[in-house]
């Protein structure tokens, strides 16, 4: 089966690589020439474990190519998967401009070609968006029976996205009326045993999951702040809370440390909050999720500044380990604030290669930290030895390297609870413990 994947960012790249590995022919489609060129050379436009090897293998075996020509991709495929970005507008609401543009391109191609086709929306969209897109672009095609439209949200975590695709934590298929698709093609495409809902239900599940993840991070960090005030170890408190696997269920986000960030949680918290306001629904807990994250970010910066030191070294800058995604990173925000207040900042993150940054990831860092190239160091020792305060958010440097380089007058601020740092011959401070 030949599948066209529209949007070669994070979700599109992983979807393309994983589907190619199970035997599908993939045509990637993107407006950005660098992404198309990278795909045609078997290179991933993002950093994600296993993905480079998967794309190289698929290219070598003739199962993967990319183009900027939407009509050509639709003509050569039986399924189109829409994975383009849905960024936030300045108001906090969702920008569906990219999805609308791609939907128009696919609709025009299908009318011209007169073929049967399946369209799957995978971009994160607010409830009602798929129905609106179908009404505006696909109504005649759907009515004629030549087109089927589904909404299948993704549940991929950066850094573990390939493993998540292979063994999904949740599988959801949204249809017009909430009935199972006539064929097994869509039901089996993304693995698992999908729950089938109406389009609106499938869209709502994606936001429900992301809001819950954001709430868990905020909750753990609020407990962390209170526990630290009481001289209690919040990591231990939360570890015991998570031993209740019958009621508390998930451990993944229930860990005090970094404020939530990345390309999904801040955007989706903002979008659903804006949506609830527009609908006139009062949701006070959800309304304040971003506020508690902002307060945690503020305390994080205050913890660094209260040392009175001026030279700050960051070990890890991306919003989490095993990715180069700087969008919404709390570490970028902290570094940006400290630089603005006159501190000297140096950074080590082995995953970040500025020449590989593409699309909105590159655009955001160019806007917020255009001088990042001067701050990034290739050798962790250079950052460790130069800093008076070391902010450690990732385990990307062996403890032995720290032990060999740190001095008694230095301070290590442990952002995510890496226990061996406590044994180093310098002052240790945990963010929430």
Distance CA 238, CA 215 (A): 15
Q: Which residues contact 397 (CB under 8 A, 6 or more apart)?
A: 315, 348, 380, 384
CA distances from 240 to 29, 55, 70, 243, 255 (A): 47, 42, 52, 5, 11
Q: Which residue has the tokens 């959800």?
A: 286
Selected catalytic residue, list 83, 152, 264, 405: 264
Spatial separation of the C-alpha atoms in residues 127 and 132, rounded to whole Å:
10
Q: Considering only CA atoms, which of 16, 6, 68 is closest in space to residue 43?
A: 16
Helix pair angle (10-21, 51-60), 10° resolution: 50
SS3 call for 430: strand
- For the question of residue 18 being annotated catalytic, the response is no
Burial label, 410 (beta-carbon count in 10 A; 0-12, 13-18, 19+): buried
Contact 299/227 with Cβ under 8 angstroms? no
Q: Enumerate residues 6+ apart whose C-beta is below 8 A from 320.
A: 158, 159, 258, 262, 394
**Segment holding 6, helix H or strand E:** strand 2-6
E strand or H helix at 214: helix 199-229
Alpha carbon dihedral 98, 101, 104, 109, in 10-degree steps, equals: -100
In the block, tokens 């700087």 appear at 326
In whole angstroms, give the CA distance from residue 313 to residue 389. 6
Q: What values do phi and psi take at 352, rounded to 5?
A: -90, 115
Catalytic residue numbers?
264
């Amino acid at each position: 089966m030949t599948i066209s994947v529209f949007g070669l960012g994070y979700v599109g790249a992983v979807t393309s690589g994983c589907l190619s590995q199970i035997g599908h022919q993939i045509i990637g489609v993107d407006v950005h020439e660098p992404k198309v060129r990278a795909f045609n050379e078997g290179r991933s436009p993002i950093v994600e474990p296993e993905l480079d090897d998967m794309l190289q293998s698929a290219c070598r075996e003739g199962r993967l190519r990319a183009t900027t020509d939407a009509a050509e991709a639709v003509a050569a495929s039986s399924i189109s998967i829409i994975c383009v970005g849905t960024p936030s507008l300045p108001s906090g609401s969702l920008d569906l401009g990219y999805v609308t543009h791609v939907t128009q391109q696919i609709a025009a191609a299908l009318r011209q070609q007169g073929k049967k086709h399946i369209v799957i929306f995978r971009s994160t969209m607010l409830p009602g968006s798929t129905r609106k897109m179908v009404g505006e672009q696909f109504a005649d095609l759907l009515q004629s029976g030549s087109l089927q439209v589904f909404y299948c949200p993704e549940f991929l975590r950066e850094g573990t996205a390939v493993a998540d695709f292979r063994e999904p934590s949740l599988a959801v298929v949204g249809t017009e009326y909430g009935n199972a698709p006539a064929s097994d093609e869509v039901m089996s495409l993304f693995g698992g045993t999908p729950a089938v809902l109406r389009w609106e239900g499938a869209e709502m599940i994606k936001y429900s999951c992301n809001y819950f993840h954001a709430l868990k991070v905020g909750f753990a960090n609020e407990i962390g702040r209170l526990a630290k005030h009481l001289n209690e170890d919040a990591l231990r408190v939360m570890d015991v809370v998570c031993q209740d696997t019958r009621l508390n269920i998930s451990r993944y986000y229930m860990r005090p440390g970094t404020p939530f960030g990345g390309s999904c949680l801040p955007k989706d918290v903002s979008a659903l909050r804006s949506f609830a306001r527009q609908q006139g629904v009062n949701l006070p807990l959800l309304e304040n999720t971003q506020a508690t994250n902002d307060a945690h970010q503020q305390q994080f910066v205050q913890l660094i500044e209260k040392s009175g030191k001026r030279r700050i070294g960051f070990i890890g800058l991306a919003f989490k380990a095993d990715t180069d995604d700087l969008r919404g990173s709390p570490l970028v925000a902290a570094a940006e604030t400290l630089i603005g207040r006159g501190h000297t900042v140096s950074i080590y993150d082995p995953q970040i290669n500025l020449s590989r940054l593409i699309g909105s990831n590159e655009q955001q860092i160019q806007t917020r930290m255009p001088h990042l190239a001067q701050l990034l160091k290739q050798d962790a020792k250079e950052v460790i030895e130069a800093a008076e305060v070391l902010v450690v958010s990732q385990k990307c440097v062996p403890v032995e390297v720290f032990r060999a380089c740190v001095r008694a007058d230095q301070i290590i601020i442990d952002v995510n609870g890496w226990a061996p740092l406590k044994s180093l011959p310098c002052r240790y401070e945990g963010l929430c413990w």
